[in-house]
Every structure is written in structure tokens, then in C-alpha cells.
Structure 1
């Protein structure tokens, strides 16, 4: 990690938005994302007792993805079609993968979800990481390809190379970098990892304007 670039990014961000994430412009963006509502929806929907019914879990995943401002309008209907096409066994696999990821063996759970989505040519980073980021926003990460590639390159993150093919190894390394970067900046910046990555992207965009 290039700490100098990170510190400069923080300075540029506060120069442009002196009130930080309380700035009216950023608050307007936050309203669109309805973060608190989405977090609560995920945390209620994926409480451990809910996993007794795989159909309910898969329906909840579809609802969260369809309502998420993080997911593109092109990917939402594709996931909806995936849910319609899946049989009971596949829904059990998908729900079990999410349960493993959230509560037990993250690597196994991630790979199980990715393998099932790959069967439908839908193993996409945004679809795999949206539900976890809402469930555990201060720990997990949302992998948006353009953002991840930009952050890795600009901040010179070591030992990590982006690939469009989802892997737990990349996810784990990216998560470690993002959580470490949060420790290097002002605590007034968001602890929510999706918002923190938004800060990084805004800071990088402001650099392009100089």
C-alpha cells in the first residue's frame, strides 16, 4: 500500500468535501443507496434461523439484489432469471453456500456460490458480494470490478491481482487491504467498507481533475 497516496487522497477529499460524509452532496448520494435499510434487510433476512428454509433465503437474496443501488440494471434481471431457473436442489446449494460464508467456512461457502452461478454463466463479483456487504458492512467488501482495479493500481496494493473470475483468494486479499487502509486514515471516514471504497474512488476522481 502506498500510504503517501492514501494520505494525499484523504486530504483531497476533505478539501473538496470539508464536512466529509456529512456534506450535502454526499448525503444526497447516500440517500440513493439507502444503506441503513439495506443493511437491516440483509441482517434480518440472513439471521441464522432463516436458513432452515432455502427458498426463503434465495428469495431474500433476489430481493436484496433487485433493490441494491450497487448492482447494475443489467445484472439484476439476470439474477432474477437465475432464481426462476433454479430447482430445489440448486436453491439448497446456493442457500447453503451463503450460510457457510456468513457463519462457518467462508472459503467453502464462497466457492459453492460461485460454482453454482458459474453453471449459469453468472459468476460475477457484484452478485457474489452484495449480500455479504449488507450483512456485515464493516468487515466484508463489495467487489465492483472497475473500482477494485482502480484501487489496486492507484494505491499500489501488493500481492493482489484482479481477475474477472471470482475467487476467494482474491476476495480475502482485497478485504484485508481495504480493512488495513481504513486504519491509516481519519476515523471520521466511514467504517462501512462500501462507503469507504466510495471515498477512495471519489478521491481518485478528484486527482484526475487536477
Structure 2
């Protein structure tokens, strides 16, 4: 038996070889891997046996990737290093039967470049995000959203919401939440009606109130709070993307985003970003939506024009809405 190099710990060397070793010739479904150079992608799981030189892998940090094995190299990961509840959940979501389209399918028929989108936005609002018509008025895209946030903080602020929950005023909380939604045109009328119908029972009213409190003011991670709120909406029959993302967006427009499916997919196509879209509200799509909004914000800043520098995600959302093919002046 050959001697080990001086200073080598045989036990640690054996553990390293067991936990992370060179990839075998063929990738199999369920293998946990890391990209040899893109370590920022995190841990990945192979979704299906490789076909020829192609493989589909779900990564913790960037979602689903289809890769050419002639270009991408991997190392396998085993043991404790292969454990990730988050990745397990992402894979289960990806492989689960979907009630609708599993990807960015159903894109609007017209796809435009980012440059054309900027031109379209400025055709409506020549002064960009500082245009008086953009800020308020019949065509306004910003003012009423800011006011909705003010109303949410006033009528369902942390202390107020806590007091209402302690008093068992769950119906009142639902009424106030619906009133905030009605301050904007972000949610379609049928979705508003659907939420109202779902909040017709005391049980659903309580579930909504407690999950909303957790969403807005809970101390857990955004992922935990978002998933709890989305699961609650699913249970009461109101799981729509606009409802799932409205309150966080209005309350925290500096960091959170609003997802209206078709226009968001249009923006994702424009920037060639895979948002891993599924019709059921889920954390992976939301996290990819955050990346989309952040990328678009950075692109607008890079334009170098002061009137196109977004203040927050309200401006980014408005840009997405105005530049989509479905936009018409109010």
C-alpha cells in the first residue's frame, strides 16, 4: 500500500472521497451534485437520467438548468453534504403534476427587446418615473400604489392587526385587507371576488388573519412567511399570484415584488430569465421573480438616464406593466 503524503489524515481524506468524488460517466436521476466552476449555484439534484450529453439539474440558488455535459463538469456529493430540505422541496415542486403550465409557457405572442421596452415606456411617460402623468392622474402608475401602502400600514399596522386578532375580529381584518386591495387595479375583479367568497366563513377569516400577520410582521424568513401565506390561500381556495404577492409588495416595495403572471412572463422573456413559472404560488417562482425585478432595476439604472432610475419595486413593476403588449391607457 502506497504511503500517504506527510500530514495527511487518512480518516479526513476518506470522508472527503466519500462525500464528494469525481462524477461517474453517467448522471442518474436523484444524484446530488455541484457544478465544478459555478459554485454559486449551490447544491443540485439530477431530475432525470442524462440523455446523450444533456442533463437537467435543479440547483438550490438558481433553479432549473439544462446543461451540455461537453461544457459543464460536476462532482457528486454524498453523505451529510448532500442533505438539503430546501433542494428536496424544489425538486418535489418541479416534478409534481401541475394544474397548469410548468414553465414560462404561454408567453405573449409579441416579444420585444429591452431597448424597445424603454422606448415604449417613454412614449407614455417622456419624463420616465418623474413624469407628472406617471406619478398621478388618470394614467398614473405610482401614486395610488403608494397610497395603498399607507392605508395598509394605517389600517392593518403591526399593533392594530395584533389587537384585532386578540379581539377575534377576523372578519374585520378581512374587510380591511379587501379595502386595501380595492385601492389599486393590480388585482383583477374576479380574483377580488374569489377572495371575498373564500373569506365567507369564520374559520377561513381566522386562517387568513393569522397568516397575514405572519406574512407582514413575523420574525421568520421571508420564505417561511410567504409559503405559510400561500399555503393558507390554497386551503381557502384563493391561491392566485396577485393575491399571494400583493400585501408584501404594497407594504415593502423597496424589496418585495408583485407577480401578475402574463406580464411577468413577458418581462422574463424580454430579459431571457427563466422564472420557473408555475400557476400555483410557490417560493421558487417568487425567488426567481425577485431576481427578474432586481435584474430589470439594474438594467434601467445602467441606461444612465436619471428619469429611468427606479425608486423601488413599484417603479419596476410599473415599467413591466406599461411595456407589456396588454397595456392600454386608462
Q: Normalised by the shorter chain, which TM-score bucket?
A: 0.7 to 0.9
User: Normalised by the size of structure 2, how large is the TM-score?
Assistant: 0.53
Is 2:323 the counterpart of 1:203?
yes
User: Aligned pair count?
Assistant: 200
Q: Who is 2:243 aligned against?
A: 127
How do residues 1-210 of structure 1 correspond to structure 2 at under 5 angstroms? 5-14=113-122, 17-23=125-131, 25-26=133-134, 27=136, 28-30=138-140, 34-52=144-162, 53-54=164-165, 55=170, 56-87=172-203, 90-103=204-217, 104=219, 105-158=221-274, 160-186=275-301, 188-189=307-308, 190-205=310-325
CA contact (8 A) 2:142 2:315 kept: no
Greater RCO, 1 or 2 (C-alpha within 8 Å, sep 6+): 1
Between the aligned partners of 2:118 and 2:141, the Cα distance in structure 1 is: 23
Between the aligned partners of 1:197 and 1:32, the Cα distance in structure 2 is: 10
User: How big is the shift at 1:140?
Assistant: 1.0
Higher helix share: 1
CA contact (8 A) 1:97 1:112 kept: yes
CA contact (8 A) 2:148 2:184 kept: yes
Structure 1: segments with no counterpart, 5+ residues: none
Higher mean C-alpha deviation, range 101-110 or range 36-45:
101-110
After superposition, the CA RMSD in angstroms is 2.8
Higher strand share: 2
CA contact (8 A) 1:139 1:179 kept: no
Between the aligned partners of 2:272 and 2:141, the Cα distance in structure 1 is: 31
Residue by residue, what CA displacement relative to the aligned partner does 1:172-199 show, whole Å, maximum 9, x if unpaired? 2211320232123135333242432221
Structure 2: segments with no counterpart, 5+ residues: 1-112
Between the aligned partners of 1:192 and 1:185, the Cα distance in structure 2 is: 12
Runs of 4+ in structure 1 over 6 Å off: none
Between the aligned partners of 1:66 and 1:109, the Cα distance in structure 2 is: 23
